[in-house]
Amino acid sequence: MSDPGKLNTSSSELDLDRPNIEDYLPSGTSIHEPHGQLRLRDLLDISPTLTEAAGAIIDDSFTRCFKSNPPEPWNWNVYLFPLWCCGVVVRYGILFPVRVIVLAIGWIIFLSAYIPVHVLLKGHDKLRKKIERYLVELICSFFVASWTGVVKYHGPRPSMRPKQVFVSNHTSMIDFIVLEQMTPFAVIMQKHPGWVGLLQSTILDSLGCIWFNRSEAKDRETVAKKLRDHVQGSDNNPLLIFPEGTCVNNHYTVMFKKGAFELGCTVCPIAVKYNKIFVDAFWNSRKQSFTMHLLQLMTSWAVVCDVWYLEPQTLRPGETAIEFAERVRDIISVRAGLKMVPWDGYLKYSRPSPKHREQKQQSFAETILRRLEEQ
């Protein structure tokens, strides 16, 4: 968790009356007022530490990042309710079956083209890859159509160049589908169980996607190596990385992992912002399986989102990878109107390291020792 003084929360059109995140961040300054003779009161008065603890219990900036914010219900009176009921009938009775059919057609077309190409063109790699890329873009378009995705792309389309990676904020696995529709990215993803895992090991593998396993500690080095190898290769699909490492609710961004920023390449930021008007696209993996999440999207009116391709960034002289990551995070957050919080997304799965607590202990200890010496 970096020094809060270095981060500035991006200005945002949303949630202006929410308590300021800075108020809930543990302050970097020492807990007690320094100077003057050390008295019993100074040791007994633990109120600042307690206030921080109580503040964290009541509201904390980390949990807020993973809170689902469904769209406001509007069916709350006599004439809106029947209207809403008609809507439900249309969505579940008409739209959903049509979408399932569309998706099924898409899969049939895809598989009947992909399998022959994959098998027959084994020797002609370049041609095979070209066709497979096109087919994957096609099936992604079918997916997007199956939730009536209204995606507006802004900015210049990414060009295929070596030594560049793309980074984006992460809200749901559909981010990948939305972006893949336009450009054949190779993505780095957590290996999932179930039908998603099956897709990962077959089709996505052919795109050059890289898998990791969060729970394996040594995994990080192997993955870092795979990343480096991939960006060096000239014929590989451009690499898309979600540096947050986990799905966040599209109102905040958590800290970017530096892995993507120390590959010695140009980093092209992509910002994705979903409009919650019909459905909340945040995949709350604690609450829903991906299948349920897809079904939820397929039974809503539309998924509306904006995608901005932003200006490519390179490491500035004297900038560390972490600073570079934070700078890019700031660019993405400002563009998509997201607030930045200084937490590591992986804290969803594990406890903070003791060094944060030790930082506070150290600062308090130093205050005491300093005042002792002053006496």
Partner 1 sequence: MGNSSSMLTQYDIEEVQGHCNHAFSQQEIVSLYQRFCQLDRSSGGFISADEFLSVPEFAVNPLAQRLLRTVDGLNFKEFVAFLSAFSPRATLQQKIEFIFKLYDSDGKGSVSYKDILDVLRDLTGHFISEEQREQVLKQVLEEAGYRKDSSLVFADFVKILGNPGLKMEVEVPVD
In the chain, DSSP finds a helix count (H) and a strand count (E) of 14, 9
Q: How far is the CB of 167 from partner 1 (least distance, A)?
A: 23
Residues in the chain: 375
Q: Strands of 88-234 (E only): list them.
A: 149-154, 164-168, 186-190, 210-212
Phi and psi, residue 253, nearest 5°: -125, 140
Per-residue contact flags (x/-) with partner 1 for residues 53 to 92, judged by CB under 8 A: xxxxxxxxxxx---x-------------------------
Helix-helix angle 96-120:125-146, to 10 degrees: 170
Distance CA 203, CA 107 (A): 12
Span 19-38, contacts to partner 1 by CB under 8 A: 19, 24-26, 37-38
Q: How far is the CB of 35 from partner 1 (least distance, A)?
A: 16
Distance CA 348, CA 203 (A): 29
Q: How far is the CB of 347 from partner 1 (least distance, A)?
A: 5
In the bound state with partner 1, the residue whose beta carbon lies nearer, of 62 and 256, is: 62
Output the six-digit token pair for 286. Answer: 């604690």
Q: How many residues bind partner 1 (CB under 8 A)?
A: 50
The residue range among 121-129, 191-199, 204-212, 360-368 that interacts with partner 1, by the rule CB under 8 A, is 360-368
In the bound state with partner 1, the residue whose beta carbon lies nearer, of 126 and 286, is: 286
In the bound state with partner 1, the residue whose beta carbon lies nearer, of 41 and 126, is: 41
Distance CA 354, CA 364 (A): 16
Distance CA 223, CA 240 (A): 14
Q: Which residue has the tokens 């790699």?
A: 125
The residue range among 49-57, 70-78, 217-225, 330-338 that interacts with partner 1, by the rule CB under 8 A, is 49-57
Q: How far is the CB of 226 from partner 1 (least distance, A)?
A: 29
Q: Which residue has the tokens 């998509």?
A: 336
Q: Which residue has the tokens 């049939």?
A: 108
Q: How far is the CB of 286 from partner 1 (least distance, A)?
A: 7
Does the protein bind partner 1 through residue 43 (CB under 8 A)? yes
Does the protein bind partner 1 through residue 12 (CB under 8 A)? no
Provide the terminal-to-terminal Cα distance of the chain, rounded to the nearest Å. 34
The residue range among 135-143, 181-189, 303-311, 350-358 that interacts with partner 1, by the rule CB under 8 A, is 350-358
> What residues make contact with partner 1 under the rule CB under 8 A?
18-19, 24-26, 37-63, 67, 286, 343, 347, 351-352, 356-358, 360-362, 364-366, 368-369, 372
